[in-house]
Amino acid sequence: MRGYFITGTDTDAGKTWISLGIIEALKQQGKQVGVMKPVSAGCTNSAAGLRNNDAVLLQQHSNVDLDYDLVNPYAFTAAIAPHIAAANENIRMDIETLYHKLQTIEQQSDCVVVEGAGGWLVPLNDFQTMADLAERFQLPVILVVGMRLGCLNHALLSVEAILAAGLPLAGWVANQVITDMKCLDENIQTLQHMIDAPLLGLIPHLETLNAVAIAARISLPNEHNSLRPDWMV
C-alpha cells in the first residue's frame, strides 16, 4: 500500500482534518504514515522559515520523522492561488521535484497521505494543475466533499475528472462543513447513488476538531480485517 492523494470539492472542504483522520486511522492499522503537503499558500514566517498551519498539523500527526521542507516543498506567504503566489515570487513549481520528494518520503514510510491544495484542477503553473501532480504520484484518490449548497455539482464534476485522469477513486468522505445544510441526508443519498466509489465516512459538523474522533468515523481498507466503525453498522 502506497497511500492516498486527498483532494476536495473546493477550498475549505475540510481536506486537512479529513487527512488527519485518515492518518490516524492508518496509524491504528499499525502503519508508519508519511505525509506531504506539496504546495501551500498563506504561510507565516517563523524562526525556522515559512510555515503553513495545515502542513504543520500533518507533520505533527505523522509517526515518521520528516523535515518540514520535505513535507511542504513549495510554501508561499500570500493566501492566494498557489500558481499566482509562485509567479509573484518568480518561482516555477515543478512536478518532477515534488515527485522526487514523494519518493524520499516513501522510502521511510509504509504509506503516504498527500493533501492537495484547493480542488482537483487548481493550477500549478501555466499549463499544469493539481490533477497533473496526482497523475504523476499515481496514488488512489480520496475526495472530500464539503457538504453545502452546490456540493452535488462540485462532487460529480470532481469525480468525473478524477476518473478521466485514469486514477482510482478509493472513495469519498462527506464532511458537514456547515451546521444547517438543508436536505443533508438526501444530498448524501444522491451522491451515494451517483458516485461509483464507497462512502468512507460521514463527518458531522464538529465544534472541536479532533483527528482521532474523525478517524473513528472513517472506514479504510484494512489488510487484516474488514471491521467498520459503529456509524456504518
Residues belonging to the active site: 37
- Which amino acid is it at 161? A
- What ranges make up the beta strands (E) of 139-195? 141-146, 169-175
Rounded Cα–Cα distance for residues 214 and 29 (Å): 15
Nearest CA to 172 out of 147, 208, 135 is that of 147
Rounded Cα–Cα distance for residues 112 and 70 (Å): 12
Yes or no: say if 155 and 17 are a contact pair by the CB < 8 Å rule. Answer: no
Rounded Cα–Cα distance for residues 58 and 68 (Å): 10
Rounded Cα–Cα distance for residues 36 and 33 (Å): 10
Q: Give residue 21's Cα distance to chain centre.
A: 10
Give the C-alpha distances (Å, rounded to integers) separating 177 from 60, 133, 151, 210.
Answer: 23, 26, 11, 14
